[in-house]
Structure 1
Amino acid sequence: MTTLSTRVVLGPVGQIPPGEGRAFDLGGRMIAVFRLRSGTLRAVPAACPHAGGPLADGQIDDAVLICPLHLNTWDLATGCSRSGQPDLEVLDVWEEDGLIAVSALRG
């Protein structure tokens, strides 16, 4: 079986204010996309692995995501936990002509 990556456009970058996140449905899989104050985009699964908290509602800075339920933390660039929880998958996300684009795997 070959797994390929395909580009999915989620919408305009402007729908995520700088310093905030939003949840998106990526083909039946919920992801959280964050727009850092620097303009950089980051994307991870939308649910906290600890208790399913809504990560898109978490607090962020240029390096860290904080879960809104229990204050668990992750490095936004690598997905590595800083609080002893399972690491998060980091998805490839970028801005393309003012739109949010993300890589999705297909089998």
Structure 2
Amino acid sequence: MTEWIDVGLITDIPVQGSRVIAGPAGDIAVFRTANGSVFALRDRCPHKGGPLSEGMVHGNAVTCPLHNWVISLETGQAQGADQGCAGKIPVRIEGERILLAASALHRYAA
């Protein structure tokens, strides 16, 4: 059975923005898209470790602010010719609350 950790309200995250959650294995970026979907990734671009939480959210992707790598919010995978994965954290929504899978928070050591 998966344990879930409440990290706040959906409205705590601006539309097409993010919020950083300190995890035991490093920061997690929680994103909210224009259509209201919520995703969570390790807050490190697979290219050079750029802070994805500071990137531009567009559609279901985020562009790393350092070198413009586009990362899928759905999978954590780099898009186009780039390769690598930021590490996806399972998200569950209960009412207006965002919950993250506790086991995944420990998985991605910096």
Do the two structures share a fold, i.e. TM-score over 0.5? yes
1:67-86 map, 5 Å:
67-82=64-79, 83-86=81-84
Shift of 1:60: 1.2
* Distance in 2 (alpha carbons) for counterparts of 1:30 and 1:54: 9
* Distance in 1 (alpha carbons) for counterparts of 2:44 and 2:2: 22
* 3-state SS, counterpart of residue 2 of structure 2: strand
Match of residue 58 from structure 1: 55
* Distance in 2 (alpha carbons) for counterparts of 1:53 and 1:88: 10
Question: Structure 2 residue aligned with 1:93, among 82, 91, 94?
Answer: 91
Contact 1:22–1:57 (CA under 8 A) maintained in structure 2: no
Shift of 1:94: 2.6
Shift of 1:28: 4.4
Shift of 1:27: 3.1
> How many residues were matched structurally?
104
Question: Structure 2 residue aligned with 1:49, among 28, 46, 50?
Answer: 46
Contact 1:26–1:104 (CA under 8 A) maintained in structure 2: no
**Structure 1, gaps ≥5 residues long:** none
Q: Match for 2:10: what amino acid?
A: V
Shift of 1:17: 0.7
* 3-state SS, counterpart of residue 65 of structure 1: strand
State the Cα deviation string for residues 41-85 of structure 1 (Å, max 9, x = none).
011001112222111111112222100111011121122211413
**Structure 2, gaps ≥5 residues long:** none
Q: TM-score, structure 2 length as denominator?
A: 0.83
Moved over 2 A (4+): 26-29
Matched-pair identity in %: 30
Q: TM-score, structure 1 length as denominator?
A: 0.85
* 3-state SS, counterpart of residue 5 of structure 1: coil
